[in-house]
Structure formats: structure tokens, C-alpha cells
Structure 1
Amino acid sequence: MVTGLEILLLAAVLVAVLVAANIVQTVRPFVINAVVGLVVLFLANFLFGLSVTVTPIALLIVAIGGVPGALVVLVLSLFGIAF
């Protein structure tokens, strides 16, 4: 026999799953952008021989900015301003 507590727990789990799915759907483009930006940074290091020092700050800029962030880090490194 199904009790009210079991129905309440089932409803709570359903709401939690829907909220988690919504969060994942919202965050997915940012994660893809960050991964592509990091790939651009590492390809620039290995393929083109650019000496970009990978620091936590550079990784944070690339992770937040994606490809534009990677380009900013590369340009700053080329001009000797940072990284």
C-alpha cells in the first residue's frame, strides 16, 4: 500500500531530477565553450610553439572566456604583457 510519505518522496525526487536536468541544459554551452577554448590554448602551445605559461589565472580566463579568452591569453603572451 502506498503511503503519503512515499508519494511525497517520489514527488521530491522528480522535482530534483527536473531541476538538475534544467541546470545541466543551461550550463552545457558554457562547458563546451570552455573546453574548446582550452583545446585552442593547448594546440597553440604544441603546434605553433607559442610559449604560453599555463597558470591558474590563464586557465580561469580561458575557461570563462572560451575561444575569445584563449585568444586574449595568446595575444597577451605574444606581446609579453602577461602569461
Structure 2
Amino acid sequence: MRVTEKGQVTIPKPIRDRLGIEPGSEVEFVERNSVVVLQKRPTDIGESPASFDEWAESVADTFDTKGMDGMEFIDWLRGPRDDIDSR
């Protein structure tokens, strides 16, 4: 597949059909471990991936936890709490 001077590529019809991409659809490119993945961006609030596994795959490697595990990252996001951290 060749990229045009404007940076455009043509998404093959079988892929457009499988992903439900039509004219006007929003798509996004997500980098995962040095690989770029094309995915359809949900356009309606009610539109969601078909399964939890599909959703998990779609958001994998999309943010940096700065090397923290899940609980450490949540604590970092919340920040200090006066009601429990003042001891």
C-alpha cells in the first residue's frame, strides 16, 4: 500500500466492510509496541466494542502508568487525601 503525497492511504474494501467503516466514519491510528493499528472510533455514545476483550485490546498500551502497578497508579491519580493521609 502506497502513501500519497498528502499522507493518505486507501483502506481496502474488505477491511472497511469488516470494521463497518463508511464515508464519514471516524478512524484512529493507535501505536502498540512499534506497530500501528487502525481502528474505527465509536461515534455514538451507545456504540461500543462487541466484547470486553475487544475493548481491552482497543485500549491496550494507550497510556503510561510510569511503571506503577494498578493500585499505585490509582493512588497517584487520586493524589493525597487529607481525611486519611494526615496521620
Please indicate the TM-score interval, normalised by the length of the shorter structure.
under 0.3
Question: Which of these two proteins has the greater Rg computed from alpha carbons?
Answer: 1
Larger helix fraction of residues:
1
Q: Which has the higher contact order (CA 8 A, sep 6+)?
A: 1
TM-score of the two chains, using structure 1 as the length reference: 0.24
TM-score of the two chains, using structure 2 as the length reference: 0.23
Larger strand fraction of residues:
2
